[in-house]
Structures are given as C-alpha cells and as structure tokens.
Amino acid sequence: MAETQELLPKLTAKDLASDQDVKWCPGCGDYSILKQVQTVLPDFGVPKENIVFISGIGCASRFTYYMDTYGMHSIHGRAGAIASGVKTANPNLSVWVVSGDGDSLSIGGNHFIHLLRKNFDINYLMFNNQIYGLTKGQYSPTSEKGKVTKSSPFGSVEEPLNPAELALGAKASFVARSLDRDPKHMQMVLKKAHQHKGSSFVEIYQNCVVFNEGAFFPFTEKETKKELDIFLEHGKPLVFGQNEDKGIRLDGFTPVIVDLKADGVSASDLWIHDEHDKLKAHIISSFSDTEYNGVSFPRPFGVIYAEDRPTYEDAVTIQIGDLIARKGKASLNKILSGDKTWSIL
C-alpha cells in the first residue's frame, strides 16, 4: 500500500477543487480559508479518497461542496457527531469538520465539547464571524455584548463565549487561532493541526462582508495589527508592538505588559511561550476578552495549546481487540441479543 501511494503523483490545489461554482458573497472570508485548505492538503500525502469533510448548517457549511473529496453537508450542529462516527468506523480516514460559530456553539455546543473531550483524531475548523450570516444577521454566541442585530435591536445583554477558553475547558488536546486575511499564518496552523494526533480545534476569524463587515479589521489592518495581535511561537518570548518593543511577563500568575526600552527589560526576561503548559494556555486564551488590572492584552494567534494523549478511536480499537482475545468473535445476532435473555411461555 505504501509503495502504491509513493507511485501516485502529488495532488495539487486544483485536484482538490470540485466542479461546483463557489457561492459565497463577494469578499467573504470563506474564500481565503477554502484556498488555504486546498493549498496545504496536498502536502500531507493523503489520497483524496481518504479525506472526508463534514459540515453542519450555515454559510461555512457549503465548504463540502467545493472540495473534491468525500464529505457530507449534514444537519445543524451535528457535524461533530457525524464526524465522530466516521472516524470511529474508519480510523484511517483524514476527517475534517467545517462549522461556523453559531453552528458549533449554539445548537451544536454539546456535540462540540464532547468531540473535544473524547479526543477523536479530527481537525475541527470553526469559522468565527461573530454573527449568523446564513439566516441574515442575528447575533451569535460569540457576538460582543451590546451587539445590535435583527434579533437584538436594543443590543444583546449576554456575555459572549470565548471559543478557545471553551475548547480548553472541554479538554481539547490542540487549540489554535488564525485569521482569514493572513494566508501564510493560516497555512502554518492548518499544517500543525493535521500533524497533531487528536482533536485539533482551529478558530479562524472570518469576515462577513454583509452582516458584520470589519468585525476583525483591527487585527488584520496594517496600521493596528502589530499593536493588537500577538503571534505565538513555541519557545519564543511573548513580544508584540509596532516595533516589537512590547512584551508580556508573568507576575506570579498575573500577566503584565512591559516596554522593552523604557522598563529596561530584555526579551529573555519575558514569558516564554510553552504550548504544552495548560495553565498558561488558559491565561493566554483569556487575553481575548479579559482585562488584567484594567489593562487590555493583545489577541493571541497561533498554537495556544497542544497535548499528546490517546485518541478515542485508538482506545476503542484496543478495547475491541482485548474483548475478541478474551471472548472470541461473536455474530451480530449474538451481540444484539446479548447473553441475558429469557423466553416467556
């Protein structure tokens, strides 16, 4: 099998593009995400008949039509559950979930947290535009408090969910964030997600040009992004700023922003990012919406956390093997009927 795969020509992005017309609004961030996925997948060396994309309901969920792979445009909020079944039935498949913030975190919230908790070897891409786009602009679980929409004409009164914090709380073994307007960064994150064995959750900031235009522009525009973004690299200090002249260090468990020039602090004195440190990952993920001592922190992008631990499908395979070794193979009828049956005369 390995020799056969070596003889196959390497796929290209065009090989992974279906013959369907891409039908998103002009300027939608989904186009960029589609392009980056089709660009990096050939590098993984996986035959396209072994690649599966599962989506739920929403603008992002049309993704499956545009990939020339196996896939399913499933039902609202249930993409994770269906993908879990696909991966368990055939662990050799490369399974990807594509979902929006509403699809993942509202009706699909329960499936989302349990997929991550169980640690299926699945790549979960959540397109976050902080709005319901397909149903015409209602506020979503990630919309900021006070958001005025058709379903919240006087402003939403709810606290938004932070997807990275939620994923960490659900025991995700890989949590990362990227942006639709940074193709190179997104490609890097997608590659790391694929390399990770376990549930890889990638939140991608995605611009909805019709119903939430510019929600993430401060993090993507040249004039502001260096002050508002911090790009995480394992083993590297947390540095940001227009001239990379600001950094973050820890005072106990409290993060503090320092000026590398004015405060006489060197990069070696800063917080060194360790993507395997879960406690620090929780602190970093909270930068999105938490102030420390009245100070707002830059938004983190990159791999926030990565942990090696057994996957669900591997554990199930081992369990089945152990049972067969102890009890032997049984027919389907015997499995369904069990050994605790009785007859009623």
Contact between 244 and 265 (Cβ < 8 Å): no
Grouping H, G, I as helix, E, B as strand and the rest as coil, residue 7 is helix
pLDDT at 70: 98
Contact between 101 and 207 (Cβ < 8 Å): no
pLDDT at 3: 46
Q: Could you tell me whether strands 291-292 and 254-259 are parallel, antiparallel, or unpaired per DSSP bridges?
A: unpaired
- Residue 72: how many CB atoms within 10 A of its CB? 15
Check residue 174 and report its DSSP letter: E
pLDDT at 1: 45
Q: Which two tokens stand for residue 158?
A: 């709810």
pLDDT at 6: 56
- The residues with which 17 forms a beta bridge, in sequence order, are 67
Q: Which two tokens stand for residue 63?
A: 């993704």
**Nearest by Cα to 245 from 226, 268, 261, 269:** 261
pLDDT at 110: 96
pLDDT at 298: 97
The angle subtended at Cα 279 by Cα 278 and Cα 283, nearest 5°, is 110
Check residue 101 and report its DSSP letter: H
Contact between 300 and 288 (Cβ < 8 Å): yes
Contact between 162 and 286 (Cβ < 8 Å): yes
Looking up tokens 């997608």 gives 190
CATH-assigned architecture of domain 2-221+301-312: 3-Layer(aba) Sandwich (3.40)
Which regions of the chain are under pLDDT 70?
A: 1-7
> How much is the pTM?
0.93
Check residue 83 and report its DSSP letter: H
